[in-house]
């Protein structure tokens, strides 16, 4: 017997995955930062202004406005960790892959995670 249609997909949302990972890392002694990329239009002194939430730069590549991992985490004795959260089966964008490659080139560890288990495996726990 199959489940009713509304119960077939029990895959957590990316937000639920990200929150579970952040809570796990914080509980495990990591300092965790949630990075919100994107942009917004605001009004300041009567003028509309376009504001980008985050930018990252590396020599030779110019200013990048996309691709920063969803979570950045540090803990004494571990390399800085960049975590791109994805629902199972989803893959990082080209911009996200570029950021992860640069993060690792500079001594960090970058992973794609769909669960807390993925993070535990990556950090050796």
- pLDDT of res. 1: 44
Does 5 map to a domain? no
State the CATH number of the domain containing residue 105: 3.40.1350.10
Strand (E) or helix (H) holding 98? helix 94-105
Does 114 map to a domain? yes
Does 20 map to a domain? yes
- pLDDT of res. 6: 52
pLDDT tens track, the chain, 125 positions: 444 445 445 889 999 999 999 999 999 999 999 998 777 888 989 999 887 777 777 777 777 778 899 999 999 999 999 999 999 999 999 999 999 999 999 999 999 999 999 999 999 87
Question: Pairing mode, if any, of strands 39-44 and 47-52?
Answer: antiparallel
Query: Which residue range is the domain that position 30 belongs to?
Result: 11-123
Task: Tell me how far apart the alpha carbons of residues 119 and 117 are, in angstroms, rounded to a whole number.
Answer: 5
Does 50 map to a domain? yes
Does 57 map to a domain? yes
String of DSSP letters for 2-53: PPPGGGS--PPPHHHHHHHHHHHHHHTT-EEEE----EEEEEETTEEEEEES
Tally of domains in the chain: 1
């Amino acid at each position: 017997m199959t489940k009713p249609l509304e119960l077939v997909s029990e895959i957590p949302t990316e937000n639920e995955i990200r929150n579970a990972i952040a809570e796990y890392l914080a509980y495990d002694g990591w300092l965790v930062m949630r990075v919100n990329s994107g942009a917004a239009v605001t009004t300041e002194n009567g003028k509309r202004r376009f504001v980008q939430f985050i930018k990252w730069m590396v020599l030779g590549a110019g200013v990048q406005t996309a691709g920063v991992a969803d979570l950045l985490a540090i803990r004494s004795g571990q390399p800085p960790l960049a975590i791109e959260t994805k629902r199972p089966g989803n893959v990082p964008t080209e911009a996200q892959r570029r950021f992860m490659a640069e993060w690792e080139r500079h001594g960090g560890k970058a992973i794609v995670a769909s669960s807390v288990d993925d993070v535990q495996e990556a950090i050796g726990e």
